[in-house]
Amino acid sequence: MIHYFEGQLGHALVIIAFITSLLSAYAFFKGRNQDKEWTSFGTKVFYAHTLAVVGIIGTLFYLITNHYFEYHYVFSHSSKILPVYYQISCFWEGQEGSFLLWIFWNAILGVVLINTNKFWKAPVMFVMALTQVFLVSMILGIVVFDVKIGSSPFMLLREVIDAPIFKTNPNFIPEDGNGLNPLLQNYWMVIHPPTLFLGFATTIIPFAYCIGGLIIRKNKEWIRPALPWAQFSAMILGVGILMGAYWAYETLNFGGYWNWDPVENAIYVPWLVLIAAIHVMIAYKKSGSALKLSMILVVASFILVLYATFLTRSGILGNSSVHSFTDLGLSGQLLIYLLAFFALSVFYIAKRWRDVPDTKEETSTYSREFWIFMGSAVLCLMAFQVLLYTSMPVYNQIAGSLGIDLNLAPPTDIYDAYSLPQLILSVFLAILSGTGQFFWWKKMDGKKLKEELRTPFLISLVVSGVIIVIGKITDPFYVILLIACMYSISANAKIFVGVAKSNIRLSGGSITHIGIAMMLVGILFSSGYSTILSTNYTSMVWSKEFPEEVNRDNLLLFINEPRQMSEYSMIYRGIRKETREEGFVDQNDLVLTVDPLKVIRKGDNQDTLTLISPENSYFEVEYHTEAGKQFTLFPRVQINKAMDMIVYSPDIKRKLSADMYTHVRTFPDPDQEPDWSEPKEVKVEIGDRFFINDYVATLERMEPISSIDGTPLSSGDVAVKAVINVQGEFGDYQTEPVFVIRDQEYVGRIDDQVNDLAFRISIQNIIPQENAVILAYQTTQKDWIIMEAVKKPWINLLWIGTFLLVIGFIVAIRRRYLEFVKMRDKGVEA
């Protein structure tokens, strides 16, 4: 039975959310000049809006958790076997759900703003409510004059998909859904998208303060309340980005944490601009310069978020990205959203431009502003560079609409296109962040500067020198980057010690800068000096086909056959399933049941085990050295039949100084029947030894049996099994082919297969007179995997640096927020 009510309720709530956002935007605009009535009306309507948004999310979750597969969103993104925490992830697999997440955060942030700030409430909430109008319109799902506005998550399957079954049976409901994309079934994917979307949502707040300030002619007062929010936003975005990087490192198969994918770039660019904006805002607070620049950068960071949204959701990226969303036909609407806010910003900035005071004094090289502007300029250039390259599909589109076939394809060398220019600019960033801090805290002249910089400079040279010698760093560019980072760390450490002595609450900047420099060092080593351990030097026969030498980074491992790889001897042990009760269990020992989550272990006890995820299989790979077994890794493959997706994920052995990263590239297709050899027959008596596929086998005994696979034999049937012991390289296997005679005349043969030893065996005939049996066996290729192993040194510095970055931000946010609260409580917020 189709559940109509829930979907209609959801859709009604969407419409309510849309109308309330529109209404509250209007009310807040009317109330912008401290009009109490309009503001309080706007507030009430915004609360109603928030309730509606929560209602939408609750309704959609209800549909998902009750498996109402008559709904398209539920069918496309979930399935019955999905655990609850991944049911939450269904929200961000689809466009509609991820818009909802964004809308949700915006509503919550709106409520926070309403309750923390009276003076700014109306103008700021006007901008917030206005963004909600646009966002909610994306999931509105109504048709006005033949124009589809938004795509609703509450559409029935039959309304979206034109399958023949709906013509014969309109009430058809599929048994199960497509399931969640295997890539999203990872715990990082439960927390990374909400974090990133919170970051996305918070970029609106400094923007809202800026535009709100311009609307009510508080052209400079907006900076104080906006600053802690900008810092909060930059912190959350930074954490969100790095969580994404960590997820990619753990789950994706490209062997790293950053791939310069358009989706990654789309969020990296606004983040850089936001960081630049924060620096300029701080400079303004200290000395009153560069207000116009602050405005431009704050606005730019939000507009770039909208541009990122447009890029990733309009389908314009097409083939150039792994994780852009499917095109929902919203590109027009997204473009309007982008252009509307762009126009709004340009309009108000232009309108107030003359009223905004210019910087009067000439900035001297020894002033703190000079160094901050330099740093911001470098950040903006980094952003510009990435933006330029990522926008290539946009150039194609624009040129195409003008009738020019531009035909630009993404750059083929990612390192040259992105990593190198970004790292070059990072050198400047590191130097500036080290030096600039001295100007920040003290009045400087040439002589004093030399004095201050001497110690950190010497320390950085000594430390870098040691690292260069030990780490055998020869690339001159890496040497420069390393020295610059060490300089930044030691200079900022010196500042930190000085500041912490007087007031530790002011030390946020230096901690953050140390974090950034450490992250850069981590990136330098883990990427620049990662070594592929599995590089293949043997079996070059076929590579003669290639016109020149090619790197072959992969290793073929047959089951239970050790292969040498750098200092390790590797052994692949076979495919494992992960059970709740006993961890990893050999797949060959398990029998599937009707319930996809339950399996039965072969053998006498017939234990029932629970699979953690039936889609997942793990390859057990052992690393040995001469000293014995070192560690075992379980790289994963995830097969989603409904989506026809096969996803491999690495497993990582974490050591303090390096990560050992192992991932499987391919393995025999489980759906494909292997090629069996022609059967070979052997005649054996009980107790005889013989060879199967070069393994020693013994026919232990013959046993009559009374049931086959749990089904008892009917009277008149006779069955017997042969118990054969086979000695593998690492332990014995028992195999039991069965011979049945039904109704005293029909012969049935049930063969038994030993996957690890790559053979199957059956009883051809029994010769009672000779007390012998004729066995037939067939062999095939042994089970194998092709894997790549990479060593990534000092990647931990990247993660440690990230933690420092966050701590630094928290210290800085606290300081700026207390400043704002102090002034607000004094009533001088404007």
Partner 1 sequence: MKKKYIAAIVIIAIAITMIVSMTGDASTYVSFSEAKVLSEKGFKKSIHVVGELPKTASGEVVGIQESPDKLSFKFEMVDENGLKQQVLFAEPIPTDFTRSEQVVIVGAYKGEKFVAEKILLKCPSKYQEEPEFTS
- For β-strands 718-728 and 738-742, DSSP reports them as antiparallel
CA-to-CA distance for 818 and 827, rounded, in angstroms? 14
Nearer to partner 1, 34 or 287 (CB): 287
| Shortest distance (Å) from residue 677 CB to partner 1 | 17
CA-to-CA distance for 228 and 781, rounded, in angstroms? 63
Nearer to partner 1, 32 or 158 (CB): 158
Other CB atoms within 10 Å distance of the CB of residue 638: 19
C-alpha distances in angstroms, 149 versus 18, 314, 548, 701?
12, 14, 55, 74
Pick one of 112, 350, 377, 696: the residue that binds partner 1 (CB under 8 A).
Answer: 377
| Strand ranges in 492-567 using DSSP code E only, listed in sequence order | 531-532, 555-558, 563-565
Q: Which helix (H) or strand (E) holds 756?
A: none
| Shortest distance (Å) from residue 397 CB to partner 1 | 14
| Shortest distance (Å) from residue 646 CB to partner 1 | 5
Any contact of residue 556 with partner 1 (CB under 8 A)? Answer: yes
Segment lying near partner 1 (by CB under 8 A), choices 430-438, 550-558, 595-603, 695-703: 550-558
Pick one of 546, 631, 691, 730: the residue that binds partner 1 (CB under 8 A).
Answer: 546
| Shortest distance (Å) from residue 412 CB to partner 1 | 4
Any contact of residue 548 with partner 1 (CB under 8 A)? Answer: yes
| Shortest distance (Å) from residue 1 CB to partner 1 | 16
CA-to-CA distance for 509 and 813, rounded, in angstroms? 10
Pick one of 55, 256, 288, 421: the residue that binds partner 1 (CB under 8 A).
Answer: 421
**Cα torsion through 584, 590, 591, 595, rounded to 10:** -20
Nearer to partner 1, 666 or 725 (CB): 666
| Shortest distance (Å) from residue 121 CB to partner 1 | 37
| Shortest distance (Å) from residue 184 CB to partner 1 | 12
654-693 binders of partner 1 (CB under 8 A):
665-667, 669
Any contact of residue 551 with partner 1 (CB under 8 A)? Answer: yes
Q: For residues 24 and 49, is the Cβ–Cβ distance under 8 A?
A: yes
Other CB atoms within 10 Å distance of the CB of residue 319: 9
Q: Site mask, partner 1, residues 311-350, x = CB under 8 A?
A: --------x------x------------------------
| Shortest distance (Å) from residue 547 CB to partner 1 | 4
Pick one of 541, 594, 627, 656: the residue that binds partner 1 (CB under 8 A).
Answer: 541
Segment lying near partner 1 (by CB under 8 A), choices 11-19, 59-67, 168-176, 189-197: 168-176
Pick one of 112, 143, 161, 592: the residue that binds partner 1 (CB under 8 A).
Answer: 161
| Shortest distance (Å) from residue 362 CB to partner 1 | 7
* Token digits of residue 180: 């969640």
| Alpha helix positions (H), 141-261 | 157-160, 165-168, 187-202, 204-215, 223-251
Any contact of residue 171 with partner 1 (CB under 8 A)? Answer: no
Any contact of residue 353 with partner 1 (CB under 8 A)? Answer: no
Nearer to partner 1, 543 or 593 (CB): 543
| Shortest distance (Å) from residue 600 CB to partner 1 | 27
Please name which of 168, 188, 157 lies closest in space to residue 73, comparing C-alpha atoms.
157
| Structure-token match 């030893």, residue found | 757
Pick one of 44, 552, 563, 814: the residue that binds partner 1 (CB under 8 A).
Answer: 552
Please name which of 756, 384, 736 lies closest in space to residue 587, comparing C-alpha atoms.
756
Nearer to partner 1, 145 or 542 (CB): 542
Any contact of residue 466 with partner 1 (CB under 8 A)? Answer: no
| Shortest distance (Å) from residue 500 CB to partner 1 | 33
CA-to-CA distance for 214 and 299, rounded, in angstroms? 12
Nearer to partner 1, 469 or 541 (CB): 541
Segment lying near partner 1 (by CB under 8 A), choices 48-56, 595-603, 636-644, 807-815: 636-644
254-313 binders of partner 1 (CB under 8 A):
none
Please name which of 755, 707, 763, 701 lies closest in space to residue 733, comparing C-alpha atoms.
755
Pick one of 8, 33, 66, 169: the residue that binds partner 1 (CB under 8 A).
Answer: 169
Nearer to partner 1, 417 or 774 (CB): 417
| Shortest distance (Å) from residue 395 CB to partner 1 | 9
381 alpha carbon, distance to own chain's centre: 26
Q: Give the largest Cα separation in the chain, rounded.
A: 114
Nearer to partner 1, 392 or 830 (CB): 392
92-131 binders of partner 1 (CB under 8 A):
none
Nearer to partner 1, 326 or 610 (CB): 326
Any contact of residue 784 with partner 1 (CB under 8 A)? Answer: yes
Q: Which helix (H) or strand (E) holds 495?
A: helix 476-502
Nearer to partner 1, 455 or 564 (CB): 564
| Shortest distance (Å) from residue 667 CB to partner 1 | 8
Q: What is the DSSP string of 593-607?
A: -SSTTEEEESSSS--
Which residues, in sequence order, are CB contacts of 44 under 8 Å at separation 6+? Answer: none
CA-to-CA distance for 76 and 177, rounded, in angstroms? 6
Question: Rg of the chain over CA atoms, in angstroms?
Answer: 33
Nearer to partner 1, 172 or 799 (CB): 172
Nearer to partner 1, 551 or 605 (CB): 551
CA-to-CA distance for 718 and 185, rounded, in angstroms? 49
Pick one of 2, 19, 646, 705: the residue that binds partner 1 (CB under 8 A).
Answer: 646
Question: What residue type is assigned to position 709 of the chain?
Answer: D
Cα–Cα–Cα angle for 640, 751, 560, rounded to 5 degrees: 60
CA-to-CA distance for 368 and 377, rounded, in angstroms? 14
| Shortest distance (Å) from residue 110 CB to partner 1 | 32
378-417 binders of partner 1 (CB under 8 A):
380-381, 384-385, 388-389, 392, 407-413, 416-417
Please name which of 309, 348, 274 lies closest in space to residue 103, comparing C-alpha atoms.
309
| Shortest distance (Å) from residue 644 CB to partner 1 | 4
Question: What residue type is assigned to position 141 of the chain?
Answer: G
Number of residues that bind partner 1 (CB under 8 A): 60
| Structure-token match 């060092």, residue found | 521
Nearer to partner 1, 84 or 402 (CB): 402
Which residues, in sequence order, are CB contacts of 389 under 8 Å at separation 6+? Answer: 265, 410, 411, 417, 418
CA-to-CA distance for 17 and 48, rounded, in angstroms? 8
Pick one of 547, 731, 768, 827: the residue that binds partner 1 (CB under 8 A).
Answer: 547
Fill in the DSSP letter of residue 545. G
Nearer to partner 1, 187 or 384 (CB): 384
**Cα torsion through 379, 384, 390, 396, rounded to 10:** 170
Other CB atoms within 10 Å distance of the CB of residue 472: 8
> Does residue 19 sit in helix, strand or coil?
helix
Nearer to partner 1, 327 or 736 (CB): 327
Pick one of 1, 145, 146, 362: the residue that binds partner 1 (CB under 8 A).
Answer: 362
Any contact of residue 746 with partner 1 (CB under 8 A)? Answer: no
Q: Which residues of 355-374 are buried (b: 16+ CB within 10 A; e: fewer)?
A: eeeebeeebeeebbbebbbb
Nearer to partner 1, 254 or 690 (CB): 254
Q: Which residues contact partner 1 by CB under 8 A?
A: 75-76, 161, 163, 165, 169, 172, 174, 178, 319, 326, 362-363, 365, 373-374, 377, 380-381, 384-385, 388-389, 392, 407-413, 416-417, 421, 536, 539, 541-543, 545-548, 550-552, 554, 556, 642-646, 648, 665-667, 669, 784, 786
